[in-house]
Amino acid sequence: MLVLRHNARVQAAAQASASQVATVTPPPPAPGPSLVKVFVEADDWTDSSLQTFERRWQSLGQDEQVKAKDSLMYPRLVSGVHQQINVEKAVAGNAAASDAHLMELQKLAKTLGVGAGP
């Protein structure tokens, strides 16, 4: 009968090695898609929120804007902008030409390159 003994140092080294397995941290989300996601989920259409989003959008590089436009949330952003413009036009009625909030929404649509709506 053959009996094998484990060396205590080998066991300790194996346990230390197992506890030092590197935890793989996923990379942070891309700034463009993240910006769109946070804005859409916040559902804040105030002028200050629109201006902040627009400023951040313009600070993104072209490649991040492209990633944002390819993101799953971008169609919801575009739809939301169009919906907000239509609602604001309906509320403003004849005064739409001088409606400051409507102008902010249209400015955002232009910045995104999506037009002011259908």
Q: What is the pTM of this model?
A: 0.72
Q: How many C-beta atoms lie closer than 10 Å to residue 7's C-beta?
A: 8
- Under the phi-then-psi rule, with left for phi > 0, alpha for psi from -120 to 50, and beta for the rest, what region is 85? alpha
pLDDT tens profile 36-49: 999 999 999 999 99
Task: Tell me the C-alpha distance between 99 and 89, whole Å.
Answer: 9
How far is residue 48's CA from residue 110's CA, in Å, rounded to a whole number? 17
72-113 pLDDT tens trace: 999 999 999 999 999 999 988 888 788 899 999 999 999 999
